[in-house]
Chains A and B, each alone.
Chain A
Amino acid sequence: MTEATKSLRAGTGTMRPGPASLPAVSLKLWQAAKFVGGIALTILCLMALTFFIGRVMPADPALHIVGQDADQETYRMVYERLGLDQPIIVQFWRYLVQLASGDFGVALLTGRPVIDDIARVFPATIELATFSIIFGAGIGIPLGVVAAVNKGKWIDHLVRLISLTGHSIPIFWLGMMGLVVFYGWLGWLGGPGEVDVFYNDMVESRTGMLLIDSLIAGEMDVFWNAVSHIILPASVLGYSSMAYISRMTRSFMLAQLNQEYLITARVKGLSESNVIWRHVFRNIRVQLVTIVALTYGSLLEGAVLVEKVFAWPGFGQYLTNNLLFGDMNAIMLCVTLVGIIFIGLNILSDALYRVFDPRTRT
């Protein structure tokens, strides 16, 4: 657990006092070094764990490469070329040495540098995750507030029903049904994939995010086509995060609605909406930031099922395929990236804490 995570859990700021004898400047340096060292150690542990788990999994990349009918000699050669005949610890050491020279390795499944692969698949996931979180938070938070304020009334039950459905319906089924209705029957939306296939390669890849690239290039055909393709997967994915966000918002709100400061506010004669939004909601912003950030983080990990149903060329499918295939070069970098995202989001929400909650400022 990083410093950031610990402090997040504790709900306070990050910096703890270092050795008392140090002067103020080196104290700051000491804290910074501890902070960076903590992150580095976390990532190293994450990598070691991933490597060992990945290697004991029953996946055989060599067999996948040569095919099941290959003779033993060819198989053996590939097996040794991949270094699989070495003890795991040696393999891990070799990987670290290779990494130290700035080489992330080549993905066996695609034959390209892993870093290029990730640069290709990750933007697609960022697009999808961002749309989903906008949908999920944009609808989920107001729904949660409304439900809390109307606790026990029909509207509360309705919101509960909506979010329970979002939680409990398998997401691939929802995705499939969405495709059947809006793509198959009605033809309102684009089908699987990021864009209709013949629009592929029409815009130059600058950010890797098709929506942005097509806007930059001024190719509005491509842009609208891509929009029609992203609406369904983003709604399906956003729906399930909306369910979670609205439930959490409701319970945060309820905890605040029992507080005595509300009586003061109402006695002062503030309008009810003023009380709810300016007083109560303000106080739950900090908690909401954490929830939304973590949800966004898990969306960035990639949603394998949604990506599969919608043939979305994203990070989740890439990571899963490589896991099944046992390609450590790709798995290691992907998992490390996910680790860094979570650490980054934790730091970010720490920072936002301090913006929103004056008590945490030191």
Chain B
Amino acid sequence: METRSRTIVSALAGSLALSLLCGAPSASLAKTPADQIVLGFSMLNILTMDPGAMNGAEMEYIANMYDYLIETDPTDKSKILPGLATSWTVSDDRQTLTFKLRDGIKFQSGNPLTAEDVVWSFRRILQLNLGQATFWKSFGFTADNVTQLVTAPDPLTVEIKLPAPTDPQLMLYNLTMGGAVAVDRKLVAQHEKDGDRGAAWLKTNSAGSGAFKLQNWQPNNTLVLERNADYWRGAPKMRRVIYRHLPESQAQRLAIERGDIDIAMTMNATDIGALKDNKNVQIESTVMGTVYYLGASMKDPKFADKRVRLALRHLVDYDGINNTLMPYYGIKHLRPIQKKAMGSLPDPDYKLDVPKAKQLLAEAGYPNGFKTTLRVLSDAPFPSVAAAMQSTMAQAGIDAQILMGNGEQVYGAMRKREFELIIGLGGGGSDPHPHSNLRSQIFNPDNSDEAKMSAFQGWRAAFHSPELNKDIETALLERDPEKQKSMYEDIQRKVEDVVPALQPFSQVVITNVVAKDVQGYRFHPGYTTRFRDVAKAR
């Protein structure tokens, strides 16, 4: 191998020397300019610039091109900060949220931003049934009722009436992310085609009031945001924010080592680890609210048996996986509710215990184990985690065949309830409210196949506990924060006994490598990282 590679290197060197001799000056490898930030990133999931239609990966661009009514603090995402709204109040009956907008804000087009724009933007999501409608529907909003419920009593006031009782805090958190931004309706009207409310145009253009505007987007190549010099918070320090599609982790590593990018966003653990001692960069990890989990489908009679699920709980090497395979991807976390959220508890003492698992399997009628399949994404860290789990399960006789695929294949099968075991990522938690995790992982309002509650991972895995459903609903409506906290603690203890279909093993961590001279960059745990205060020390 070594002689071979030497042959190639010399062959390449030969051809290169030739071309250099032919007069090409050696490439001027300029570093990134002082007034621009360049990010290396895999852009495969970037499909649209329409805030209402995005599916999540695009949120960072949306947060920089548009403004939300309110924002969360990147260092403490439970803390709500003003955005377009300077103040917000919740009515005594907890049914109405009122937002007062800052006066004098203008869109990038120069059009004034009014409460009418905000209301129009929110209604549009539901009336067009865009991707972001899912969150509005979860509160009971529909295309029909939204015109009565989301209103603008005057040009500087937005009023949101909740269609069903809930914790208003949950609604507030949800307004800090997703598609809940103000869109310039007058500008969009100029580009409307066949009554589409700008759906076609907004896919590739921006119509916001944010710190940056879309300058150029070439799918899977580059995305360039340009400074909005008239931004109402003051002009951003960076002239441009440039995202470069670098799908290969190693290419990102080389590029940040060479100084051709300032921030590497989608590197794998091996390459991040290799930069640990590099003086010019720092490695920044941010704990997110989502979890990695092992899920079992209770449609399968084997996993419908609680003893088998309990056996699975004892067939995962939580410490081994988290210490060796998950660094930079996740930290050990075994409960449904994310760390630091209201009611979050320390991890239970689950351990790899093969004899106990074997005993449980024997009791359930599987003394020699069984054959099954384990679905998993083909990206790191999933394959290695799957291999680790496969080997520990094999010790108790469970022969799990690993089926790898892309997101649509793995989660598509889960959404159709056509799987046995799965290692997944999700489980709510994009906002810091404990309800978000419980709703996604445990709550299941209707377990029938026909209900197709595929937004709920509980339904996908056919886990159905009417008692826990009720506890979750009651806790959400509790007004006394202390009581509410202890209710969430109780729910988690109950979850330990019930053994649900999803067992979290790690909480998601996003790790970025950032050049030392970048200042003010703070990755946001809600994916709304903003560049308006980012600067470079040169």
Contacts and interface: CB of A to CB of B under 8 A. Distances in A.
Contacts of B412: 58, 60, 63
B97 to A, nearest CB: 23
Interface in B1-51: 4-5, 7-9, 11-12, 15-16, 19-20, 24-30, 32-33, 36, 38, 44-45, 47-48
A309 B8 contact: no
Identify the 9 closest CB pairs spanning chains A and B, nearest first: A228-B27, A67-B55, A111-B203, A313-B221, A110-B219, A72-B452, A68-B411, A71-B455, A60-B408
A137 B68 CA distance: 57
A165 B440 CA distance: 52
Contacts of A221: 28
B505 to A, nearest CB: 19
B16 A188 contact: yes
Contacts of B222: 197, 200
Contact of A317 (B19, B216, B220, B254): B220
A133 interface: no
B248 to A, nearest CB: 5
B251 A311 contact: yes
Contacts of B468: none
A234 B38 CA distance: 25
Contact of B7 (A77, A165, A182, A225): A165
Contact of A197 (B28, B38, B454, B455): B38
A64 interface: yes
Interface in A146-187: 161-162, 165, 169, 174, 176-184, 187
A196 to B, nearest CB: 6
Interface of A: 58-60, 63-75, 77-78, 108-112, 117, 120, 135, 139, 161-162, 165, 169, 174, 176-184, 187-193, 196-198, 200-201, 221, 224-225, 227-229, 231, 235-236, 239, 308-311, 313, 317-318, 321, 324-326
B529 interface: no
A177 B5 contact: yes
A75 B454 contact: yes
Given A198-B38, A200-B224, A308-B248, A70 B134 contact: yes
A153 B9 CA distance: 24
A175 to B, nearest CB: 9
B528 to A, nearest CB: 16
Interface stretch (B239-247, B275-283, B298-306): B239-247
B16 A235 contact: yes
Interface stretch (B110-118, B255-263, B338-346): B255-263
Give the contact-size bracket for chain B.
35 or more
B406 interface: yes
B35 to A, nearest CB: 10
Contacts of A224: 24-25, 27-28
Majority SS of interface residues in chain A?
helix
Contacts of B74: none
B175 to A, nearest CB: 18
B408 A63 contact: yes
A245 to B, nearest CB: 15
**Max chain B Cβ within 10 angstroms of own Cβ: one of A117, A180, A187, A198:** A198
B504 to A, nearest CB: 16
B257 A184 contact: yes
A308 B247 contact: yes
A311 B47 contact: no
Given A184-B254, A191-B258, A311 B455 contact: no
Given A193-B244, A228-B24, A313-B221, 15 more contacts: A59-B408, A70-B55, A70-B134, A70-B454, A71-B137, A71-B453, A109-B47, A120-B218, A187-B29, A188-B26, A191-B254, A196-B29, A198-B33, A228-B28, A313-B220
A188 B13 CA distance: 11
B8 A169 contact: yes
A325 B47 CA distance: 11
Nearest to B410: A68
Given A70-B455, A188-B20, A63 B415 contact: yes
Contacts of B20: 188
B219 A109 contact: yes
B47 A198 contact: no
A111 B53 CA distance: 11
Contacts of B248: 176, 192, 308-309, 311
B47 A64 contact: yes
